[in-house]
Amino acid sequence: MNKFLQRWAVFAGLVAVWEALGLLADDPFFPPPSEIAVAAWEWWVLEPENLTDHVLPSIGRLLAAWAIASVIGVALGLLLGRSDRAMEYANPLLVFLRSIPPPALVPVFLLLFKVGTSMQVATIVFGVIWPVLLNSVDGARSVDVTKVDTSAVFQIRRAQWVFGVVLPAASPKIFAGLRVSLSLSLVLMVISELVAADNGIGWQLMQAQRDFDYTRMWAGVVLLGVLGYGLNTALLAVERRALAWQPRSRDEQHA
């Protein structure tokens, strides 16, 4: 608990410094947090249609794309991780595809899906699948040899082998990939909405910038930070529950 309070005390101190510098600078490009908070309140509380028409659709696209990438990445990663030959053939293609910056494919996805949710989801999926896939491959390869030999001796069924042995052993690395991909999902969500969209948080940021409403623009940036923190905290809670069977260090227990 002490560490928790210390962390938030440091955060509060940084916000206080930002407030002081913002008031002293009196710069429209660098508003203090108090003005940003007022703009956020007016934007999403006093104008609730902004919440329903922009924030919620963005979150929906982000979570849908992340879920699709997670399912495909874990399934394909476990398959490739347990097959050296399959990984040998697939590795050059994987290296080639993951080297392509997702924003560079936005024009391609625009041609394929037109402007809309499908294009944005495709952009996010392509960009965030790689951490999940590669961590799943690494996790599947890390299954203890003793477990492999024991499973072979008892001749357990394929499904039981995958879900009862491989998946639990690979879970720590899979969750690490899921955390990275969730952060990337937020970034790519904004990029896709900046380029081609008629709603969403990214679209609102662009509109605020075009209207020279920099306080609202900063309110959108802060909202993205809050969303990222909230989603990461929720995923960490799920991870701790799912991996409760694993021993944890003392620092992790008090985090």
Q: What is the CATH number of the domain that holds 184?
A: 1.10.3720.10
Structural domains of the chain, count: 1
Both tokens assigned to 23: 């008031």
> CA 126, CA 180: separation in Å to the nearest integer?
14
Residue corresponding to tokens 């990275």? 180
Within 8 A by CB and 6+ apart from 164, the residues are 156
Helices 84-98, 117-141: axis angle to 10 degrees equals 140
Which residue range(s) make up the domain with 155? 32-244
Three-state SS at 136:
helix
Asked if residue 65 belongs to a domain, the reply is yes
Q: Closest Cα partner for 174 from 145, 148, 142?
A: 142
Q: Closest Cα partner for 63 from 242, 234, 195?
A: 234
Three-state SS at 135:
helix
pLDDT at 15: 86
Asked if residue 251 belongs to a domain, the reply is no
pLDDT at 77: 92
Residue 167, CA distances (Å) to 111, 141, 143, 243 in order: 37, 11, 9, 12
Cβ-in-10-Å burial (0-12, 13-18, 19+) of 213 comes to middle
> CA 239, CA 30: separation in Å to the nearest integer?
37
Asked if residue 249 belongs to a domain, the reply is no
> CA 191, CA 175: separation in Å to the nearest integer?
24
Does residue 123 contact residue 188 with C-beta atoms inside 8 Å? yes
> CA 143, CA 80: separation in Å to the nearest integer?
13
Asked if residue 121 belongs to a domain, the reply is yes
Asked if residue 18 belongs to a domain, the reply is no
Asked if residue 150 belongs to a domain, the reply is yes
Does residue 87 contact residue 105 with C-beta atoms inside 8 Å? no
Within 8 A by CB and 6+ apart from 227, the residues are 59, 186
Question: pLDDT tens digits, the chain, 255 residues: what are they?
Answer: 577 777 788 888 888 888 888 888 878 888 888 888 998 888 888 888 888 888 899 999 999 999 999 999 999 998 898 888 888 888 899 999 989 888 888 888 888 887 778 889 999 999 999 999 999 999 888 877 766 666 666 667 767 767 777 888 888 999 999 999 999 999 999 988 887 778 889 888 888 888 888 899 999 999 999 999 999 999 999 999 888 876 654 444 444
Asked if residue 16 belongs to a domain, the reply is no
Asked if residue 145 belongs to a domain, the reply is yes
Does residue 201 contact residue 55 with C-beta atoms inside 8 Å? yes
Within 8 A by CB and 6+ apart from 184, the residues are 127, 128, 131
